[in-house]
Amino acid sequence: MSDQTHIDSLFGSRVTRSPEETFEFGRKIGESIAGGSIILLHGDLGAGKTLFTKGLAEGLGIDAEDVTSPTFTLVNIHDGRLRLYHIDLYRLDEGACRELGIEEMFADPNGVTVIEWAERLGFAPDNAIEIEIEYVSESKRKISISRKAK
């Protein structure tokens, strides 16, 4: 099964029942994701976007302990099997994002770009993977994955 086919098989909705399951689901995606992928994360504060990203990073061969929310730095870059561009737009107004050079990150064929608070981006790149993490209860999260159409 190709990386793309494996990722597509994960589309749809599922409920994780613990923080560990959310992390593991991210790790599973990170193990098979291809370079040039863009992941747009949506969800309320505390929904698990950074935890999911830590799992994805581990799947890319990056120590999850090195991955923290880049709320104050906006962009953190980590090297593993692929380079991870971890972006947090929480503190930015919509439209201010173009000045960050995000398009260059999107164009990196050996990189994976993950954007927390992606709704503040103001646009959605073609073929981006959209992930919505919804709070269900203290330990449960509903994770919905789809691809933005070209």
* pLDDT, tens digit, 9 for 90 and up, residues 63-116: 999 998 766 678 899 999 999 999 988 876 665 566 667 888 899 999 999 999
Lowest average pLDDT, out of 14-23, 72-81, 119-128, goes to 119-128
pLDDT score at 93: 62
CATH number for the domain harbouring residue 59? 3.40.50.300
Per the structure, the count of domains in the chain is 1
More confident residue, 69 or 131: 131
Q: In the chain, which ranges are E strands? A: 12-16, 37-42, 75-79, 83-88, 111-116, 129-135, 141-147
Please identify which residue in the block is written with the tokens 């061969």.
61
Alpha-carbon span 112 to 86, nearest angstrom: 8
101 Rama sector, left if φ>0, alpha if ψ -120 to 50, beta otherwise = left
Q: Are 44 and 119 in contact (CB under 8 A)?
A: no
C-alpha closest to that of 69 among 27, 32, 116: 116
Reduced to 3 states, what is the DSSP secondary structure of residue 33?
coil
Alpha-carbon span 44 to 24, nearest angstrom: 20
Residues of the domain holding 121: 3-147
Q: In the numeric block, which tokens belong to residue 33?
A: 């994701």
What integer is the mean pLDDT of 121-148?
90
Please identify which residue in the block is written with the tokens 């770009």.
113
